[in-house]
Structure 1
Amino acid sequence: MPIFNMLHSFACVSGAVGVGFGAIGAHALKAKLNAHQSAAWSTATQYQLMHSLALLYALSLPKSSAVVAASYAFATGITLFSGSIYGLCLTKTDNPIRKLLGPVTPLGGISFIVGWVLLAYAKRPPSLRR
């Protein structure tokens, strides 16, 4: 399926970006971010890397509607959760975009949770399948 090739590429690029952003946060932004922002940046990179791997795992499973939905949920979570935190860390407090980014972060977190639940559902034991 072409969509799985696109999601596979997304996961790999996301992993590379996560490593790069982790290094940027630890070095280039170290003096520019306060302690709270630095911790948030670190969380964003950790979640991005963790869920890039989860997406790659999901894409390795036999394709089902639950696996497809989990894959999209992980990709959405990476984009919304990590992306919004990066944006919040890089914008000034008075920037109006922050009013949009703040509420986006929990939507990304919910997407991650949905992805994990869908993976559990996709791999449920045969005795629970109908």
Structure 2
Amino acid sequence: MNNINTTPLIIGSIYGAISVILGAFAAHALKKKMKPSLLASFETGVKYQMYHALLLVTLGLMPQNNKLTNVANLISIGVFLFSFSIYGLTLSATFSKKIKVLGPITPIGGLCLVAGWCMLAYYFMTL
């Protein structure tokens, strides 16, 4: 595979698999234990993770350069911070041990995702 960055392919594939697993976990096990608002937040994390897993796979298949590598890195970090902090917040709140330090991490992850998308738009504008 010439000029293809396998890192976003691997990370995107792993994020996709984890998203399916956590989505099923939410639909079956958590549905009985979580408040509806917490379940909705958990599902938001799962959806955003899957959307961005697909983006990472797409980015990995594109001819590579430093700009796309930076976009993929920012998206990878953003997913980790955004989705996984949501999982931690909702699960810890469900089991009465809320990890409050995760609260500020979620918007940082969201900013990384927005910045990644903006960088991608800029990349396309400069083709």
Q: TM-score, normalised by structure 1?
A: 0.86
Distance 1:121 1:60 in 2: 19
**What is the distance in 1 between the residues matched to 2:26 and 2:20?**
10
2:12 aligned with 1:29, yes or no?
Answer: no
Stretches of structure 2 that go unaligned for 5 or more consecutive residues are none
1:30-61 C-alpha deviation (Å, 9 max, x unpaired): 11110111100110010000000111111222
What secondary structure sits across from 1:37 in the alignment? helix
Write the distance in 1 (CA, Å) between the matches of 2:58 and 2:124: 12
Contact 1:64 1:122 in 2 (8 A): no
Gaps of 5+ in 1: none
Equivalent runs, 1:29-108 vs 2, <5 Å = 29-92=30-93, 95=97, 98-108=99-109
Q: Aligned residue for 1:8?
A: 9
How far has the Cα of 1:62 moved from its partner?
A: 2.1
Instruction: After superposition, give the CA deviation of every residue in 1:49-95 in whole Å (9 maximum; x if it has no partner).
Output: 00001111112222222211110111011100000000011113763
| Cα distance between partner residues in 2 of 1:31 and 1:113 | 33
The one-letter code sitting in structure 2 at the alignment partner of 1:42 is: E
2:124 is aligned to 123
Measure, in 1, the Cα distance between the counterparts of 2:47 and 2:70.
Answer: 22
Quote the Cα distance in structure 1 between the aligned partners of 2:12 and 2:28. 24
Task: Indicate the percent of aligned positions where both proteins have the same amino acid.
Answer: 35
Tell me, yes or no, if the aligned pair for 2:11 and 2:56 is still in contact at 8 Å: no
The alpha-carbon deviation at position 125 of structure 1 amounts to: 4.7
CA contact (8 A) 2:19 2:49 kept: yes
After TM superposition, what 4+ stretches of structure 1 lie above 2 angstroms from structure 2?
4-7, 92-96
Aligned positions, number? 124
Q: CA RMSD in A?
A: 2.0
